[in-house]
């Protein structure tokens, strides 16, 4: 710390006027001077501290901005990877859905063909019965 001006002579003189002995006044003045020298900050000390704190604050600001940029870059990269993975999963799901729909369409067509064949057989049987009944009625009449 820088030195603070303290008039030990004037301080000791006041103490002597107040009833202290010369030895007591000088001892107390010297102790007070040391106390002030070692414990009080000057305006210059405060200004130096302010400058140092401002510099540290700038360094912290730069470091934080750098860290934020890195975090932003990492987040963007992660987001891009997630988007790519999502698109890939979406394409796989779409392909599986199309495959399932195609299988369903083939099964439906097969079932419709079977139903058509059964209906043709039943209609043919009904037609045969109808022709037989008409033939029998014609013979009877």
Average confidence (pLDDT) over 110-131: 95
pTM: 0.49
Q: Does 102 share its domain with 132?
A: yes
- Exposed (0-12), middle (13-18) or buried (19+): which is 12, by Cβ within 10 Å? buried
| Number of domain units in the chain | 2
Q: Does 25 share its domain with 62?
A: no
Q: Does 2 share its domain with 47?
A: no
Percent of the chain with pLDDT over 70: 97
- Check whether 1 has a pLDDT greater than 50: no
The pLDDT tens digits of the residues spanning 34-59 come to 888 878 888 888 999 999 999 999 99
Q: Does 69 share its domain with 86?
A: yes
Q: Does 61 share its domain with 90?
A: yes
Q: Does 28 share its domain with 83?
A: no
What is the extent of the structural domain holding 79? 41-140
CA 135 – CA 141 distance, rounded (Å): 10
Per-chain mean pLDDT for the chain: 92
């Amino acid at each position: 710390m820088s030195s603070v001006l303290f008039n030990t002579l004037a301080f000791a003189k006041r103490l002597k006027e107040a009833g202290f002995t010369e030895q007591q006044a000088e001892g107390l003045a010297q102790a007070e001077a040391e106390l002030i020298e070692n414990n009080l900050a000057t305006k210059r000390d405060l200004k130096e501290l302010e400058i140092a704190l401002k510099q540290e604050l700038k360094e912290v600001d730069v470091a934080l901005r750098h860290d934020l940029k890195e975090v932003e870059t990492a987040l963007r990269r992660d987001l891009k990877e997630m988007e790519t993975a999502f698109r890939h999963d979406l394409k796989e799901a779409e392909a599986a859905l199309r495959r399932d729909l195609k299988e369903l369409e083939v099964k439906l067509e097969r079932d419709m063909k079977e139903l058509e064949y059964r209906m043709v057989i039943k209609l043919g049987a009904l037609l045969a019965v109808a022709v037989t009944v008409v033939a029998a009625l014609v013979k009877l009449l």
